[in-house]
Structure 1
Amino acid sequence: MDKLTHFNDEGRARMVDISDKDVTLRTAAAKSAVTVNDTIYHKIIEGGFKKGDVLAVAQVAGIMAAKKTSDWIPMCHPLHLSGVDLSFQWEKQNDASYILHITAEVRTTGSTGVEMEALTAVSAAALTVYDMCKAADKGMIIGPTSLVLKTGGKNGDYRRED
């Protein structure tokens, strides 16, 4: 196993020094999901929640979270993001439930990757859906959440094989 980069020689946490890394285009995509019942699905697509448009608010929450990832994750570097986009897709299940698939794509030109920003974006979007809908049903399920794509940097590209 490779040495874990977020630990110093004493085994204590550190922020990795990226000053010698090349500035390149770096992208990442992550996905998460929220499983909801039939009632919540219809209220979301019909705009039936008093708090507002659930997916619009979740999209903004995901973008805001990506921009603030270094405030949440202690060893993340603050990054200048060049783009953040979230998308949503519904999948009907056999048992009168629906899965809301959430995907985030994040881009930067810099010395470190944006994997954590993409993962934070989908996590915040999923949590926002839960928050906005919890009065109707607290039994929603969030996840799984995973990195699906990473490009750029010295370690090369990564694509999740499902």
Structure 2
Amino acid sequence: MSSFTHLDAKGNPNMVDVGEKAVTRRSARARAIVALGQEIMDQLEAGDIRTAKGPVFQTAVLAGIMASKKTGELIPLCHPLGLDNCNVDIHVNEAREVVIDCTARITARTGVEMEALTGATVAALTVYDMCKAFSHDILIREVKLMEKTGGKRDFKREG
């Protein structure tokens, strides 16, 4: 049975010691789904919405990348990492939902799942923040890890 890696033998919070792990190429992709409601989606028909704060999707991309780089400062037991690359892609799917994919990459002793999840989440929150002037009928429906490579085991979610 697996144990929680961030707890010591006494159950106290503990940062994982990655000093003995091998340096490998690691990547992770996380996805957030945002349902904006009819009123806002109608605004998107012509492309990215421009608000007083700027273009929604472009601003969300920058926010997601910035958040990924700050993950170690936001989540207490995450290692501070210098990412090799981070990419945020935003598109509207067939169900007229905003799909945000954040991919983080690094060559290191620890993975970047939390960086990808943080980037996707903050990008989704940025979409919410920039669109709430149109309507509060906005739902950040889910945030999930889609895939990761490198480290002990790879993972890939279908769909």
Structure 1 length normalisation: TM-score?
Answer: 0.92
Match of 1:73 in 2: 75
- Could you tell me which amino acid in structure 2 is paired with residue 70 of structure 1? G
Q: Which runs of 4+ in 1 moved over 4 A?
A: none
State yes or no: 1:150 paired with 2:148. yes
Q: CA deviation at 1:123?
A: 0.0
Q: CA deviation at 1:51?
A: 1.6
Match of 1:32 in 2: 32
- Could you tell me which amino acid in structure 1 is paired with residue 157 of structure 2? R
Contact 1:63–1:86 (Cα < 8 Å) also in 2: yes
Residue correspondences, number = 157
Q: 1:105 is paired with a residue of what secondary structure?
A: strand
Q: Distance in 2 between the 1:82 and 1:101 partners? A: 23
State yes or no: 1:119 paired with 2:117. yes
Contact 2:48–2:56 (Cα < 8 Å) also in 1: no
Structure 2 length normalisation: TM-score?
Answer: 0.93
Where do 5+ consecutive residues of structure 1 fail to align? none
Q: CA deviation at 1:46?
A: 5.2
| CA displacement 1:25-62 (0-9 Å, x = unmatched) | 00000001110123312434253422210001000000
**Which residue, 59, 62, 65 being the options, matches 2:61?**
59
- Could you tell me which amino acid in structure 1 is paired with residue 53 of structure 2? K
State yes or no: 1:102 paired with 2:103. no
Contact 1:43–1:49 (Cα < 8 Å) also in 2: no
Name the CA shift for 1:90/1:19 in 2 (closer, same or farther; >3 Å): same
| CA displacement 1:113-141 (0-9 Å, x = unmatched) | 00000000000000000001111111200
Match of 1:41 in 2: 41
Deviates further, 44-53 or 144-153: 44-53
Name the CA shift for 1:79/1:91 in 2 (closer, same or farther; >3 Å): same
Q: Distance in 2 between the 1:14 and 1:152 partners? A: 23
Match of 1:133 in 2: 131
Percent of residue pairs bearing the same amino acid type: 42
